[in-house]
Amino acid sequence: MEAEEQNMDTGKKVNIGVVGLGYWGPNLVRNFIDVENCRVVMVCDANEARLKPVKKRYPNIELTTKYEDMAASNDVDAIAIATPVISHYPLAKQALENGKHVLIEKPICSNSTEAEDLIKTAKKYQKILMVDHTFLYTGGVRKIKELIDKGEIGQLFYLDSVRINLGLFRPDVNVIWDLASHDISIIHYLFDEPPVSVSAMGRDFNNNNITCLAYITLKYKSGMIAHIHTSWLSPVKIRRIILGGSKKMVIYDDVEPTEKIKIYDSGIEFRQENETSLQPTYRLGDINLPKLDQREALALEANHFIDCILNGKKPLTDGAMGLAVLKILEAADISTREGGREIALNISRQQ
Ligand SMILES: NC(=O)c1ccc[n+]([C@@H]2O[C@H](COP(=O)([O-])OP(=O)(O)OC[C@H]3O[C@@H](n4cnc5c(N)ncnc54)[C@H](O)[C@@H]3O)[C@@H](O)[C@H]2O)c1
């Protein structure tokens, strides 16, 4: 994927509709409005009150409370879906069957059977199906990927992520699906291999059966390990990933306003003194703060979606990738219900 690429000016324009104007949808509207070769022609929300701010700000955009109007409209080429997860599948299926390209919020669907069906449907109708795993378009994650690909981190040993804050409780998904889905997509992008198993300990603490705190471990064939601590029950907001490799270590702190990435030339090597003594040598070298692309991730992503439509490209965050993330979420849920049992995963490289 070349998220950096602006879509080429082919003279063609994509008319897009956005459904769901709650917390996230307005960000999609704002970013698609700025994409060249794209026009936001319609927005939809079942709650009429949510349409009013759009009407005030963008009077030329058509408004509807009925999704059927958008899905059936000949003026709409593509639909971005930002509604609760439970509704992703029926809305996306209807859009694809009506010949629309689809950008769907993360996580792609409520279960992998639905996701597999969407992938099949998109293929049948030859439409782009892309999932909004926003973090893969951030300057921070793209910089880490670049460092890994250039061999600067060396052999990857582990990734440790903490993504915690107070709330926002969601009635339809638990904290693993809401917050850890970001980490799982990031890990899936950075690591060259899919995980072979997942185990997760989770608790609800509110007797509502919605996990609000979880510790998730992913294992890899190569010996790599990834751990995610995610919570809606933390007094402070932390968004920190530590990546450890044989050459360098990286800290990605997304709460930092500017210096989000720090690259540490740190490590430990062991020297065998004699049969019983193993001497560690600590390497404490420079710390580098690379310059990051400051552009809004959603702006790059919106451009990438339109580029994929106009130029027949495969999205970085395509349906297969959304399905891989979903399979891990499903297995993590099973593991939390079974007291942290290790669940084997069957995820292919294409996913
Ligand atoms: N990529 C990210 O970083 C990110 C961040 C936040 C949320 N999200 C995702 O965005 C999606 C929406 O989350 P949110 O926080 O904006 O939810 P929200 O509850 O704030 O908003 C959802 C909106 O969808 C509308 N809606 C629901 N069903 C509808 C239907 N059938 N037709 C028309 N309108 C309908 C609701 O009226 C509501 O206004 C979720 O999938 C969530 O996981 C992604």
Residues 216-256 have pLDDT tens digits of 999 999 999 999 999 999 999 999 999 999 999 999 999 99
- Return the percentage of the chain with pLDDT > 70, whole number: 96
Mutate to test the pocket of ligand 1, among 83, 137, 169, 170 (most ligand atoms within 8 A of CB): 83
Q: How much is the average pLDDT of 95-100? A: 98
> Which neighbouring-strand residues pair with 251?
242, 262
Q: In what order do the strands lie in the sheet with 14-19?
A: 62-64, 38-44, 14-19, 78-81, 101-105, 129-132
Nearest CA to ligand 1 atom 1: 134
Q: How much is the average pLDDT of 191-198? A: 96
Nearest CA to ligand 1 atom 6: 24
Examine the pLDDT at 277 and tell me if it is beyond 90. Answer: no
Contact 85 CB / ligand 1 (< 6 Å)? yes
Examine the pLDDT at 274 and tell me if it is beyond 90. Answer: no
pLDDT band of 2, cuts 50, 70, 90? low
Q: How confident is the prediction for the chain on average, in pLDDT? A: 95
pLDDT tens-digit readout, 29-49: 999 999 999 999 999 999 999
Examine the pLDDT at 55 and tell me if it is beyond 60. Answer: yes
The reported pLDDT for the residue numbered 3 is 47
Examine the pLDDT at 269 and tell me if it is beyond 90. Answer: no
Separate counts of helices (H) and strands (E) for the chain: 10, 15
Contact 25 CB / ligand 1 (< 6 Å)? yes
* 153, 243 contact by CB (below 8 A): yes
Q: Residue 54 has which token pair?
A: 């759009």
* 321, 188 contact by CB (below 8 A): yes
The alpha carbon of 286 and the centre of ligand 1 are apart by a number of angstroms equal to 43
* 153, 147 contact by CB (below 8 A): yes
* 248, 152 contact by CB (below 8 A): yes
Q: How much is the average pLDDT of 10-22? A: 92
Contact 83 CB / ligand 1 (< 6 Å)? yes
More confident residue, 71 or 280: 71
- In 3D, which of 156, 141, 150 has the Cα closest to residue 221? 156
The reported pLDDT for the residue numbered 173 is 95
* 202, 233 contact by CB (below 8 A): no
The alpha carbon of 216 and the centre of ligand 1 are apart by a number of angstroms equal to 25
Global pTM reads 0.95
Kind and range of the H or E element at 249? strand 249-253
The alpha carbon of 31 and the centre of ligand 1 are apart by a number of angstroms equal to 16
Examine the pLDDT at 205 and tell me if it is beyond 90. Answer: no
The alpha carbon of 280 and the centre of ligand 1 are apart by a number of angstroms equal to 51
Examine the pLDDT at 24 and tell me if it is beyond 70. Answer: yes
Looking at residue 186, its amino acid is: I
pLDDT tens-digit readout, 130-156: 999 999 999 999 999 999 999 999 999
Contact 64 CB / ligand 1 (< 6 Å)? no
More confident residue, 67 or 272: 67
pLDDT band of 169, cuts 50, 70, 90? confident
Nearest CA to ligand 1 atom 27: 83
Mutate to test the pocket of ligand 1, among 18, 19, 23, 136 (most ligand atoms within 8 A of CB): 23
The reported pLDDT for the residue numbered 8 is 54
